[in-house]
Amino acid sequence: MSCGLHDVVSFEGLGRPAVLVASSVFREVAAVEAQNLGQPALRRVFVPHPIQDRTDDEMREMATATAEEILAALSSEPGSALDPSTDEVTSPR
């Protein structure tokens, strides 16, 4: 997950919107690492944990279910859509 955070920081540094997509078990670690990287408002979306035992069909369903949330995160300013109570991106309604 740390590499993913570094990638997001690198893309953002190039002026390209990016969002971390990670398993929900990494929510707290992602917040701490984003803070340590000087990017506490880093865009991030979390999917249900665990994912390693999911079938290909289940992964496709999860990707489809999460796509709108990821697009909402990418089209917002970093941190502007973060729900402070969960540290997750909230989709516009």
Q: Which residues of the chain have pLDDT under 50?
A: 90-93
* pTM, two decimal places: 0.78
The per-residue pLDDT for 76 is 87
Distance CA 33, CA 39 (A): 9
Q: Please tell me the predicted confidence (pLDDT) of residue 65.
A: 94
- pLDDT digit string, tens, across residues 37-55: 999 999 999 999 999 999 9
Phi, psi (deg, nearest 5) at residue 51: -120, -20
Cβ neighbours, 10 Å, residue 23: 15
pLDDT of residue 23: 93
**Residue 91: its pLDDT value, please?**
41
pLDDT, position 53? 94
